[in-house]
Amino acid sequence: MLHIFVTRQSRYPADGKALKERVRRVLVDRGVTDVQVSIALVGARKMKDLAVKYLGEKEDDEVHEVLSFPYAESKNDFITPVESGLHLGDVVICYPEARKIAIKRNRMMDDVLGELAEHGTLHLLGIHHE
């Protein structure tokens, strides 16, 4: 069974059901049916902190739109609930960066968040862009 969790601060409005559905579709279309995925919507400061801590980036590097942390590659720094299937990993989306994309491309915010969630989920599955 798929378990998809979405966490966000109240200042970052998003359609959690739509995000879960976008991620579910990516997984099911690739035959993945018994995993947990966590999606977090965070601010620019948190995103920068994650990039510095886990990717070894510098403070003055640009803020990422989305980061993926496959559980299989982690050093178990993330909490893993044990009540269901394999914890595939965590997708972290920078809400302010997503908002910039939505404005620049004249797109609905939830569409941009969904695309970033899909992109991050593909990375969890080991599918990377060229």
* pLDDT tens over the chain, length 130 residues: 899 999 998 999 999 999 999 999 999 999 999 999 999 999 999 999 999 999 999 988 999 999 999 987 655 555 555 555 689 999 999 999 999 999 999 999 999 999 999 999 999 999 987 5
- Residues facing 41 on adjacent strands: 8, 93
Domain housing 93: 3-124
Closest CA to 8 of 71, 92, 66, 67: 92
Q: Is residue 77 in some structural domain?
A: yes
Q: Is residue 79 in some structural domain?
A: yes
Report yes or no on whether pTM surpasses 0.75: yes
**Residue 86 pLDDT:** 87
**Residue 129 pLDDT:** 72
Whole-number Å distance between alpha carbons of 89 and 68: 7
Q: Is residue 96 in some structural domain?
A: yes
Q: Is residue 81 in some structural domain?
A: yes
**Residue 94 pLDDT:** 98
Q: Is residue 107 in some structural domain?
A: yes
**Residue 106 pLDDT:** 98
Task: Domain count for the chain, please give it.
Answer: 1
Q: Is residue 129 in some structural domain?
A: no
Q: Is residue 40 in some structural domain?
A: yes
Q: Is residue 130 in some structural domain?
A: no
Do residues 92 and 40 touch, judged by C-beta distance below 8 A? yes
Whole-number Å distance between alpha carbons of 55 and 22: 26
Strands, E assignment, 11-130: 35-42, 66-70, 86-94
For position 79, which CATH number holds?
Answer: 3.40.390.30
